[in-house]
């Protein structure tokens, strides 16, 4: 119980998957009450691992060290059963593809109601319809009888948000919630996410899209946080060379990170000495290859920090 | 997304396929060595007939007519529901089948019940503790199960359970009371295959984000197994279950004749031994129709239940 | 049709492969070495020594004609395995020829072959084999014809789709552009890939084919006496189960172990193939 | 019988209970009788469905037959049913509780006596002939009080008085004549035994049978299984409807009571036939409530079922059963006293090597008949002695001999040279022949396998063939050298006439080796014209000498006995020499 206003407090989190991939390497971050935080990076940078760790969805056999305190409980120290009690009620989750998030055999209503049933209760009468209408589904009462394939992606994502926020969770984790949607819809969805939760952790690769919706952005690279600053600051003045490259690249869904960077991200099954980004970094100095930079003023880079 | 429906083209294609099957099945009579008229008489228990008997049999079999005419007339009869008469008994093949259909239906239903009762819990256990010992035991078990020919199982059951332990009877009467023996023999192989495939299907569903979503909603492992993984795996599995029907009609023939089950399968083996061609033809044709209809029905049903299946293909 | 979850079975698959190969090597080794070294004849009668218990002279006892059961088991194994090999070779050959032809020729040839394949696949295969043996009359040749007829269609369909996929593959197009003829391209670039996949499928089917041969012979529709075959040995001696159980134990174990080995090997090869394809 | 088998019987009865009720109803209504009677029959049956004790079921079999019969007779013939059977022998006083359950391997396809295969009811106490061959091998009166040959072309048949069909109708001269004439007209097997025979009524109980040629075999023919049963032709024709060419469907004949035997068919399905006791049977009340003949194809299942107390008689068990059934309290293996049927090896005279009499003789002399019967077939079969088994043809000389040295010498003489113990050759050609087997018969298979091995040392190389279409192959002279199957020189009722013509004469349809021997043709005519047993003996002996020794046209490898496995309850069952598995005398051991 460090601070009542801190909803999520991750400290020196280290995660290794059963296949040996060391996906997170000493990650620390905090989300306060009412705060909206985006974790940004290429695929494989470990951002999804953060979400899975919080939710307890890591594959069995993963090795985890550090702590991840959600609303006062360290989820890493909890039994599976106690962790499960937090899910749905204290931690909400919105996934990437709304189609995959819905059980195709159930009606939308049944899918949303599962948020209650999964924790052993029934949705209050009219609650599902009301929640969906609040989220902008017209004629929800009639439509919820339909099965998911009859709904559009945007509508389904709203339904998914309704389910994820059914119990007004303290923290809502959204993993690429808009990648399956077109830009305008994505913006709507992000706004809805803003409005529904106490604290929000968005995992995304699209820095431009989320910038105006979140307070703070954390940039991940190869399992480490390289930059952690206010959203507007990062967008206007990225400081870490990686962030700069990230922002310079016009990232579109389904396209790999483009032009400015040569080389590949490092092999995550091996230990990394020095800065993970050093081999690709245009400004790297000798020290970058031997000494791991710490996060100073929200940036982990020897060059930037030395420059002051 | 539009609801997938069986279109007219599918039905036409189905009919064309069945017609083709009827040509293949009818043509088997042409493959039979020797004179069909003599074979008819042999089937009737007259191994050394007189010339006049043979001539009469030739007329009876329309052997004096061209092949195409014979086929067309046969097909015409079949379409009207007349599958001809058994060479041995001169009774209509359909009424011979009718006498035995009940026993085979009892066996078929019992086998499916056995299979489901075995498969579902085993699959749940295996998928719940996947890669742990229950799963491994199940996998070894299903490998062995698929390797046990059903005639061997029925033979062992007959000797050990019936004769040694005195449970049940050698001569089955086709009733529910004695169905356990052939049904267990038939169900072992099917259950082993199903368990393996259904486990694969469940694990596949458990690896999807749907399962993660359910976990993130606070659902426990059993709830996810029974409410999400199993139903979804079963729907994908439906077409395969229908394929099993095809395997069962063959397997049932062997098992039925080993344990003397008074069903259509034993009758088929009997007809094969006596070269009673109309019976063989009718059986294969009816089984094909049943199989094709079941397989297509299951496919349609699966796509109805989960329209994504139609798209993925 | 196979459902997902293959990757999860990787480790078990490897153990399965090892167990399967060990059993297969033991079985085939016994059959081969036994056939060379065991000098008792599988057919020689010894009417004064009917139904003898296992002894040093007759390790598996003697049957109702006083024939050495071990010699018959070896002979039967040799026969079962070679029949299965002939059947699968026949199936692979036919389906390779027709599948590649359909895939390359397209048009009328393709649709004709595909229709016939569809029709044959609509008839339950075990039943088709059973009925064909029935119509042709019991015997080794009928058995093989029936089994090949009931199996080739599925393989042809796969060979055809592999061919169509291969036709637009880079190396094939390159070979064509380099001026090589269809025949040479087909032989050099298409056939090897198709054959290797068909052989994996055939491995997967060995178990089923062996079981089918045994079942049909057990029903008296396959191998005919006095030739030995595991299934027919069982049907010959099942009458003596109470008095001479050893006569049944050996063929039963032989059938189950061989089918098990074939299934284990076939499955792990199939899994490997699926994993390669999905990667 | 154990509890289990009662249950089995009950269950199978239940399955067919409805069928029976429907058939009973149909029969009764069809005969246009009073509706009261019919409904009571059905009601009785319906009651029994609910009541499943074995006793009730057993009783009902008898009742239903009697009732159905009584009703039908009442309505159709307007005569009173015979309530007091005119029997000289009151039969068994006690009626057993359970029906006899017989396991048969053959399909009982037809019950109309003119249908091919319509002879099965002879075996199970349904059909009766005018004469019967008893186990002493001699002919005795049966439905006929006497059959006399008044001149070479004329026979007088006197019908026993007071015999009734199952439907109550009286058996009279008219009925007997109609039976004989219908059989001759519509069944080729019967026609061949009495070609051109005509039966006419010459008195209320007297029939005159005339033949165009002298035919010594008439009396034997009248005793022949399935050839000339006595039955109610009118009932059969009525059931058959209009079509004269074909025979009556089984379903239509069930319950018409058209036969005279103690057990008559009341239910029929392809796998099971139930015969109910005919209460008014002429020799007395049958000792069993009924007989269930169940077809079980699998020979092991038949064995196990008797072992497990589910059945009483297992017909056609394998000879190995003799060795397996050693427990004195368990099922017993029984064999008939006479080995009547011959397992014959026909030799193809149309091609090498059997076109050479020396090779044929050598083969015949090479075979150890004692070993075939006693070692290969466990002594269950009789050692072959010639064409005809001695007990059926008393005084016939033994002709089959084994002489290995003479066999080798004959082959040497014929020019077949043996090098060491390998296959003999002549001019580069091997001394090899094929044995064609009929797939169905287990004994011929055993014999073929044994013969293949036994003649090896003599330099014969044998290949076994199993043919699908046995008889078509036989017609192709190039396709086979030898064939082995169960077809003796005695009919199944122990008469030599038909088989002699079929197998030994030039025109004979079953003369597969296609030999033509004028002396044999002449002997056949002599046989038909023969009048005394001594005359016949001389003819048959000479025949055996020619066929077995002088020419070796064919080889009788063994004589087959009828064998039956019986449950402990039937431990004193006697196996008929002439295939009469169930007779009026069949009853459980006291």
Taken in order of first residue, the domains within chain A and their CATH numbers are 3-222 (3.40.50.300), 243-263+273-308 (no CATH)
Q: How far is D383 from chain B (nearest CA, A)?
A: 26
Asked if residue B251 and residue B149 are part of one domain, the reply reads yes
What is the per-residue pLDDT for D64?
A: 40
Q: Please check whether residue B3 lies inside any domain of the structure.
A: no
Which pLDDT value is given to residue A104?
86
- Chain B residues touching D310 at Cβ < 8 A: 169-171
Domain boundary, last residue among B46, B79, B112: B79
What is the reported pTM?
0.80
Q: Tell if the CB–CB gap between B209 and A100 is shorter than 8 Å.
A: yes
* Separation of alpha carbons D440 and D423, rounded Å: 30
Residue-by-residue DSSP string for B247-310: HHHHHHHHHHHHHT--SHHHHHHHHHHTT-HHHHHHHHHHHHHHHHHHHHHHHHHHHHH-THHH
Mark yes or no for CB contact C226/D371 under 8 Å.
no
At D116 the pLDDT is 67
Statement to judge: residues B68 and B121 lie in one domain:
no
Same domain, B50 and B152: no
Q: Tell me whether residue B265 is in a domain.
A: yes
Alpha carbon distance D572, B125 (integer Å): 59
pLDDT of residue D515: 92
Q: Is the peptide bond before C221 cis (omega within 30 degrees of 0)?
A: no
Determine, for residues D375 and C48 on separate chains, whether the beta-carbon distance falls below 8 Å: yes
Q: Is A98 on the interface with B (CB under 8 A)?
A: no
pLDDT for res D558: 93
For residue B239, tell me if it sits in a domain: yes
Please name every residue paired with D170 in a beta bridge, in sequence order, or none if there are none: D164
Same domain, B40 and B103: no
Q: Domain total for chain B?
A: 2
Chain D CB within 8 Å of residue C240 CB:
yes
A105–B306 CB contact, under 8 Å: yes
Q: Could you tell me which of C121, C69, C94, C51 has the C-alpha nearest to residue C195?
A: C94
Residues of B in contact with A98 (CB under 8 A): none
- HEC string of chain A equals CCCCCEEEEEEEEEEECCCCCEEEEEEEEEEECCCEEEEECCCCCCHHHHHHHHHCCCCCCCEEEEEEEECCEECCCCCHHHHHHHECCCEEEECCCHHHHCCCCCCHHHHHHHHHHCCCCCCCCCHHHHHHHHCCCCCHHHHCCCCHHHCCHHHHHHHHHHHHCCCCCCEEEEECCCCCCCHHHHHHHHHHHHHHCCCEEEEECCHHHHHCCCCEEEEEECCEEEEEEEHHHHHHCCCCHHHHHHHHCCCCCCCCCCCCCCCCCCCCCCCCCCCCCHHHCCCCCHHHHHCCCCCECCECCHHHHHHC
Fold for the domain defined by D3-24+339-560: Dipeptide-binding Protein; domain 3 (3.10.105)
Let me know if residue B10 belongs to a domain: no
Q: What is the mean pLDDT of each run of 10 residues along chain A (308 residues)?
A: 71 89 88 89 84 87 88 86 87 84 87 87 85 85 87 86 86 83 77 78 83 88 89 85 79 50 77 85 84 84 77
| Peptide bond connecting C226 to the previous residue in cis, omega within 30 degrees of 0 | yes
Residue B12 lies in a domain: no
Asked if A163's CB is within 8 angstroms of B217's CB, the reply is yes
Q: Which of the residues in chain B have pLDDT under 50?
A: 1-4, 311-313
Q: Which of B46, B86, B177, B260 to mutate to test the interface with D (most CBs of D within 10 A)?
A: B260
Sheet holding D263-268, edge to edge: D263-268, D272-277, D290-295, D100-104, D313-315, D563-566, D332-335
Cα nearest neighbour of C133 on chain D: D468
Q: What is the pLDDT of residue C178?
A: 81
More confident residue, C43 or B45: C43
According to the model, what pLDDT value does residue B300 have? 85
Residue labelled with tokens 């599958």: B83
Kindly identify which residue of chain A lies nearest to residue B227, measuring between CA atoms: A103
Which residues of B have a CB under 8 Å from any CB of A?
1, 208-210, 212-220, 223, 227-228, 231-232, 235, 305-308
> Which residues in chain C touch residue D300, judged by CB atoms under 8 angstroms apart?
238-239
Q: Is there a domain that residue B179 lies in?
A: yes
Judging contacts by C-beta atoms under 8 Å, the chain B residues touching residue C264 are: 143
- Please indicate, yes or no, if residue B88 is contained in any of the structural domains: no
CATH fold for domain D124-234 = D-Maltodextrin-Binding Protein; domain 2 (3.40.190)
CATH code of residue B202 = 1.10.3720.10
pLDDT tens, residue by residue, C170-188: 888 888 888 877 888 888 8
Are residues B166 and B36 located together in one domain of the fold? no
The confidence score (pLDDT) of residue C134 equals: 84
Let me know if residue B223 belongs to a domain. Answer: yes
Among all chains, which residue has been given the structure tokens 């190389």? D461
Closest CB to C264: pick one of B143, B200, B281: B143
Per-residue pLDDT at D468: 60
Same-domain status, B60 and B102 = no
Q: What pLDDT, on a 0 to 100 scale, did the predictor assign at position D10?
A: 36
Q: How far is C77 from chain B (nearest CA, A)?
A: 16
The contacts of residue D279 (CB under 8 Å, 6+ apart) are: D62, D65, D66, D285, D286
Query: According to CATH, where is 3.40.190.10 located in chain D?
Result: 124-234
Which residue has tokens 């035991």? B137
CB-based contact D445 C225, cutoff 8 Å: yes
Question: Chain-wide mean pLDDT for chain A?
Answer: 83
**Helix or strand holding residue C50 (H, E):** none
Residues B29 and D469: their CA atoms lie apart, in Å, by 14
- Return the residue in C44, C52, C62, C65 with the most chain D beta carbons within 10 A, the one to mutate for interface testing: C65
Chains D and B touch (3+ CB pairs under 8 A): yes
Indicate if B198 and B269 belong to the same structural domain.
Answer: yes
Domain around B49: 22-79
Q: What residues of chain B lie within 8 A of the CB of A160, using their CB?
A: 213
Q: What is the pLDDT of residue A152?
A: 85
**In the predicted model, what is the mean pLDDT of residues C14-23?**
86
Residue D434 CB neighbour total at 10 angstroms: 18
Mutation target for B interface from A100, A102, A176: give the one with most B CBs within 10 A. Answer: A100
B161/B273 same-domain check? yes
Q: Which tens digit of pLDDT belongs to each residue from C125-156?
A: 888 998 998 888 888 899 999 999 999 999 99
Write out residues 63-82 of C within 8 Å (CB-CB) of D.
64-65
| D222 closest CA partner among D141, D287, D289 | D141
Taking an 8 Å cut-off on Cβ atoms, the answer to whether B251 and C238 are in contact is no
Distance from CA of C112 to the nearest CA of D (A): 33
Segment B196-216, tens digit of pLDDT: 889 888 888 888 888 888 888
CB atoms within 10 A of CB B132: 11
Q: Quick one: B109 and B63 in the same domain?
A: no
- Residue D548, CB-side half-sphere exposure with 13 Å CA sphere: 24
Q: Where in chain D is the domain with CATH 3.10.105.10?
A: 3-24+339-560
* Ranges in chain D, pLDDT < 50: 1-93, 242
Q: How far apart are CA A299 and CA A296, in angstroms?
A: 5
């Amino acid at each position: 119980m460090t601070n009542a206003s801190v909803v999520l407090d991750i400290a020196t989190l280290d995660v290794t998957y059963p296949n040996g991939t060391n996906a997170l390497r000493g990650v620390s971050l905090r989300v306060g009450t009412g705060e909206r935080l985006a974790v940004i990076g290429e695929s494989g940078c470990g951002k999804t691992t953060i979400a899975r760790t919080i939710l307890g969805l890591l594959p069995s056999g993963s090795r985890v060290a550090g702590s991840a305190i959600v609303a006062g409980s360290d989820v890493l120290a909890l039994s599976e059963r106690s962790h499960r009690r937090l899910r749905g009620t204290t931690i909400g989750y919105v996934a990437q593809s709304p189609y995959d998030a819905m059980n195709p055999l159930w009606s939308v209503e049944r899918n949303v109601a599962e948020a209650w049933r999964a924790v052993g209760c029934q949705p209050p009468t009219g609650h599902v319809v009301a929640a969906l209408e609040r989220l902008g589904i017209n004629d929800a009462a009639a439509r919820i009888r339909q099965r998911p394939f009859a709904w559009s992606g945007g509508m389904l994502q709203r339904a998914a948000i309704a389910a994820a926020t059914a119990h007004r969770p303290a923290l809502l984790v959204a993993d690429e919630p808009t990648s399956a949607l077109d830009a305008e819809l994505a913006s709507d969805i992000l706004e809805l996410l803003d409005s529904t939760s106490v604290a929000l952790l968005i995992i995304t690769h699209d820095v431009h899209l989320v910038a105006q919706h979140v307070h703070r952005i954390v940039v991940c690279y190869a399992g480490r946080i390289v930059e952690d600053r206010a959203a507007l600051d990062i967008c206007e003045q990225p400081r870490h060379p990686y962030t700069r490259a990230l922002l310079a690249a016009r990232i579109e869904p389904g396209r790999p990170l483009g032009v400015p960077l040569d080389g590949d991200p490092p092999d995550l099954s091996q230990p990394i000495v020095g800065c993970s980004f050093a081999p690709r970094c245009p400004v790297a100095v000798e020290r970058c290859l031997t000494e791991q930079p710490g996060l100073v003023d929200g940036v982990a880079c020897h060059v930037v920090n030395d420059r002051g | 997304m539009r609801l997938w429906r069986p279109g007219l083209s599918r039905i036409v294609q189905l009919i064309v396929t069945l017609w083709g099957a009827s040509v293949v099945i009818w043509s088997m009579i042409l493959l039979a060595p020797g004179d069909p008229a003599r074979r008819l008489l042999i089937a009737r228990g007259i191994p050394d007939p007189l010339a006049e008997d043979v001539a009469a049999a030739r007329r009876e079999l329309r052997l004096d007519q061209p092949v195409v005419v014979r086929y067309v007339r046969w097909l015409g009869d079949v379409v009207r529901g007349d599958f001809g008469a058994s060479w041995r008994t001169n009774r209509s093949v359909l009424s011979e089948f009718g006498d035995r259909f009940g026993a085979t239906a009892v066996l078929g239903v019992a086998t499916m019940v056995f299979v489901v009762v075995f498969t579902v819990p085993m699959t749940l256990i295996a998928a719940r503790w996947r890669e742990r010992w229950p799963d491994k035991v199940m996998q070894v078990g299903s490998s062995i199960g698929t390797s046990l020919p059903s005639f061997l199982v029925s033979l062992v059951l007959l000797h050990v359970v019936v004769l040694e332990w005195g449970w049940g009877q050698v001569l089955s009467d086709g009733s529910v009371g004695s169905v356990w023996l052939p049904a267990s023999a038939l169900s072992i192989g099917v259950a082993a295959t199903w368990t393996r495939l259904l486990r694969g299907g469940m694990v596949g569903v458990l690896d999807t984000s749907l399962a993660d979503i359910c976990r993130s909603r606070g659902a426990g492992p059993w709830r996810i197994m029974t409410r999400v993984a199993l139903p979804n795996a079963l729907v994908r599995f439906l077409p395969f279950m229908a394929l099993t029907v095809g395997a069962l009609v063959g397997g049932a023939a062997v098992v039925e004749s080993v344990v003397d089950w008074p069903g259509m399968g034993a009758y088929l083996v009997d007809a094969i031994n006596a070269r009673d061609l109309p019976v063989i033809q009718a059986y294969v044709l009816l089984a094909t129709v049943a199989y094709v209809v079941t397989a297509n029905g299951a496919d349609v049903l699966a796509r109805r239940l989960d329209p994504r299946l139609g798209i993925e293909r | 049709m196979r459902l997902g979850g293959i990757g999860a079975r990787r480790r078990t698959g490897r153990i399965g492969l090892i167990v399967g190969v060990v059993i297969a090597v033991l079985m085939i080794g016994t059959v081969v070495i036994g056939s060379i070294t065991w000098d008792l004849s599988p057919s020689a009668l010894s009417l004064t020594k009917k139904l003898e218990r296992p002894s040093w002279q007759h390790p598996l006892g003697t049957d109702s004609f006083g024939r050495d059961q071990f010699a018959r088991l070896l002979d039967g194994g040799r026969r079962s395995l070679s029949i299965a090999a002939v059947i699968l070779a026949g199936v692979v050959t036919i389906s390779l020829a027709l599948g590649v032809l359909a895939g390359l020729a397209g048009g009328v040839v393709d649709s004709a072959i595909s229709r016939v394949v569809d029709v044959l696949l609509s008839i339950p295969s075990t039943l088709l084999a059973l009925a064909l043996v029935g119509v042709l009359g019991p015997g080794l040749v009928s058995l093989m014809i029936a089994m090949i007829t009931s199996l080739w269609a599925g393989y042809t369909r796969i060979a055809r789709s592999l061919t169509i996929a291969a036709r637009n593959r880079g190396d094939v197009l390159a070979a064509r552009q380099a001026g090589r003829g269809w025949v040479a391209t087909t032989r050099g670039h298409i056939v090897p890939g198709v054959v290797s996949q068909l052989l994996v499928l055939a491995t997967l089917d060995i178990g089923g084919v062996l079981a089918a041969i045994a079942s049909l012979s057990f029903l008296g529709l396959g191998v005919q006496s006095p030739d030995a075959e595991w299934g027919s040995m069982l049907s010959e001696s099942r009458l003596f189960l109470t008095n001479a159980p050893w006569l049944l134990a050996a063929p039963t174990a032989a059938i189950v172990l061989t089918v098990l080995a074939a299934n284990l090997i076939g499955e792990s090869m199939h899994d490997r193939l699926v994993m390669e394809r999905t990667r | 019988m154990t509890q289990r088998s009662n249950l089995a019987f009950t269950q199978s009865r239940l399955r067919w209970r409805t069928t029976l009720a429907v058939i009973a109803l149909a029969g009764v209504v069809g005969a246009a009788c009073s509706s009261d009677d019919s409904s009571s029959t059905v009601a009785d049956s319906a009651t029994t469905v609910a009541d499943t004790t074995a006793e009730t079921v057993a009783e009902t079999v008898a009742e239903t037959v009697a009732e159905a019969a009584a009703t039908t007779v009442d309505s159709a013939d307007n005569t009173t049913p015979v309530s007091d059977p005119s029997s000289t022998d009151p039969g068994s006083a006690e009626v057993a509780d359970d029906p006899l359950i017989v396991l048969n391997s053959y399909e009982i396809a037809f019950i109309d006596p003119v249908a091919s295969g319509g002879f099965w009811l002879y075996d199970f106490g349904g059909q009766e002939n005018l004469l019967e061959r008893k186990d002493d091998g001699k002919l005795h009166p049966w439905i006929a009080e006497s059959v006399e040959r008044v001149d070479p072309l004329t026979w007088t048949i006197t019908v026993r008085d007071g015999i009734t069909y199952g439907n109550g109708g009286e058996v009279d001269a008219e009925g007997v004549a109609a039976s004989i004439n219908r059989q001759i007209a519509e069944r080729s097997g019967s026609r061949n035994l009495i070609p051109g025979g005509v039966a006419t009524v010459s008195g209320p109980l007297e029939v005159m049978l005339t033949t165009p040629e002298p035919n010594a075999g008439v009396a034997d023919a009248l005793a022949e299984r399935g050839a000339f049963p006595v039955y109610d032709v009118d009932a059969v024709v009525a059931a058959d409807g209009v079509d004269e060419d074909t025979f009556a469907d089984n379903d239509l004949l069930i319950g018409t009571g058209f036969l005279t035997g103690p057990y008559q068919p009341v239910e029929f399905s392809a796998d099971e036939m139930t015969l109910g006791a005919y209460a008014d049977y002429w020799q007395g009340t049958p000792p069993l409530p009924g007989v269930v003949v169940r077809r079980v194809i699998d020979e092991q299942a038949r064995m196990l079922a008797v072992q497990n107390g589910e059945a009483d008689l297992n017909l056609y068990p394998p000879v190995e059963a003799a060795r397996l059934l050693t427990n004195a309290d368990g099922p017993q293996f029984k064999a008939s006293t006479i080995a009547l049927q011959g397992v014959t090896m026909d030799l193809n005279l149309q091609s090498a090597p059997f076109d050479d009499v020396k090779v044929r003789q050598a083969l015949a002399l090479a075979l150890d008949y004692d070993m075939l019967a006693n070692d290969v077939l466990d002594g269950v079969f009789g050692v072959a002695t010639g064409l005809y088994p001695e007990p059926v043809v008393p005084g016939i000389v033994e002709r089959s001999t084994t002489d290995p040295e003479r066999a080798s010498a004959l082959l040497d003489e014929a020019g077949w040279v043996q090098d060491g113990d390998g296959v003999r050759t002549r001019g580069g050609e091997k001394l090899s022949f094929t044995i064609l087997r009929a797939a169905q018969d287990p004994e011929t298979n055993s014999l073929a396998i044994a013969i293949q091995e036994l003649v090896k040392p003599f330099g014969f190389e044998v290949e076994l063939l199993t043919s699908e279409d046995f008889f078509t192959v036989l017609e192709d002279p190039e396709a086979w050298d030898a064939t082995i199957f169960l077809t003796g020189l005695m009919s199944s009722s122990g008469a030599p006439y038909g088989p002699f013509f079929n197998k030994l004469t030039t025109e004979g349809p079953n003369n597969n080796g296609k030999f033509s021997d004028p002396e044999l043709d002449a002997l056949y005519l002599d046989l038909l014209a023969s009048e005394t047993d001594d005359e016949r003996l001389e003819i048959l002996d000479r025949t055996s000498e020619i066929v077995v020794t002088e020419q070796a046209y064919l080889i009788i490898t063994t004589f087959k006995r009828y064998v039956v496995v019986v449950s402990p309850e039937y431990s004193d069952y006697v196996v008929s020499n002439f295939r009469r598995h169930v007779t009026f005398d069949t009853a459980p051991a006291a």
